[in-house]
Amino acid sequence: QSALTQPASVSGSPGQSITIPCTGTSSDVGGHNYVSWYQQHPGKAPKLMIYAVSNRPSGVSSRFSGSKSGNTASLTISGLQAEDEADYYCSSYRSSSTPWVFGGGTKLTVL
């Protein structure tokens, strides 16, 4: 079964805002409010940034926000900072024999 669809890369300048889309189907992103976003720096484990579409775990900056419209979820990072440069992965619950599915990942470059 296909992974969720994310752009391979996005970029932005410090202080700007960027949005990373994550497109799925009615069986996953569109059918459930269980979309998560993870940040992964090189050589490090993933870090949970957003859960249940738009909720931030304790300790995650308010510059990170999540939303969903139809079959597409989005992660928005405002006030870009150099330390935001990382890979970002979306994940969703899927109504199938494989309940969890990840996106292919998006490399964020801060120019």
Partner 1 sequence: EVQLVESGGGLVQPGGSLRLSCAASGFSFTTYSMSWVRQAPGKGLEWVSFISTTSGSIHYAESVKGRLTISRDNAKNSLYLQMNSLRVEDTALYYCARDCGDYSFDIWGQGTLVTVS
Q: Find the binder of partner 1 among 21, 34, 54, 56 (CB under 8 A).
A: 34
Under the criterion CB under 8 A, does residue 98 sit at the interface with partner 1?
yes
Helix, strand or coil, per DSSP, at residue 84: helix
Cα separation, 102 vs 20, whole angstroms:
14
Query: In terms of CB distance, is 2 or 13 closer to partner 1?
Result: 2
Under the criterion CB under 8 A, does residue 101 sit at the interface with partner 1?
yes
Residue 69 Cβ, how far from partner 1 at the closest point, in Å?
19
Q: Residue 43 to residues 7, 40, 46, 49, 104: CA-CA distances in angstroms? A: 21, 8, 10, 18, 17
Helix, strand or coil, per DSSP, at residue 82: helix
Residue numbers at the binding site for partner 1 (CB under 8 A) = 1, 3, 32, 34, 36, 38, 40, 45-48, 51-52, 55, 57, 89, 91-93, 97-105
